[in-house]
Amino acid sequence: MAGTDYMGIPREKIPWFPVIDPDKCTNCGSCLDFCSNNVFEAGDEATVVVNPYNCVVGCAACRKVCDSDAITFPSNDKLIGWLTELRETR
C-alpha cells in the first residue's frame, strides 16, 4: 500500500490519482484485479475510485490494463509542478 508521505510531502496534498470516465468504463474489473492498493471498487455500472490517496505517486500502470481507455491521470508535467511547489512550501 502507498505510504503516508512522498518525498516528505503528506500524501493527501498530492492530487495524483486515477479518474475513471463512467461513459467508457465497462466495469470489467481489470483495474481492480491489477491494483493491489485498494484504490478501486466495483460500482453498479462503472468502477469507482474509493481510496485515491492509496495510489502510488507517479504510478499509472492501471491505465495500461484498461481495455476501454477509461482511466486517466494528470500529466507528468503537472505532477512535477505540484511536487516542486509543495517541496518549496515545506
Residue 49: which domain range? 5-88
Residue 4 pLDDT > 90, yes or no? no
Q: Tell me, what CATH number does 22's domain have?
A: 3.30.70.20
- Tally of domains within the chain: 1
Q: Which three cell numbers stand for residue 75?
A: 500529466
pLDDT tens for each residue of 15-41: 999 999 999 999 999 999 999 999 999
pLDDT tens for each residue of 35-75: 999 999 999 999 999 999 999 999 999 999 999 999 999 99
pLDDT at 89: 85
Contact status, residue 5 vs residue 12, Cβ threshold 8 Å: no
Contact status, residue 42 vs residue 66, Cβ threshold 8 Å: no
Q: Using alpha carbons, select from 85, 65, 89 the residue that is nearest to residue 15.
A: 85
In 3-88, which ranges are continuous DSSP H helix? 30-34, 61-65, 76-88
Tell me the β-bridge partners of 10. Answer: 5
Contact status, residue 55 vs residue 71, Cβ threshold 8 Å: no
Threshold 0.75, pTM exceeds: yes
Q: What's the pLDDT band for 2 if we cut at 50, 70, 90?
A: low
pLDDT at 1: 46
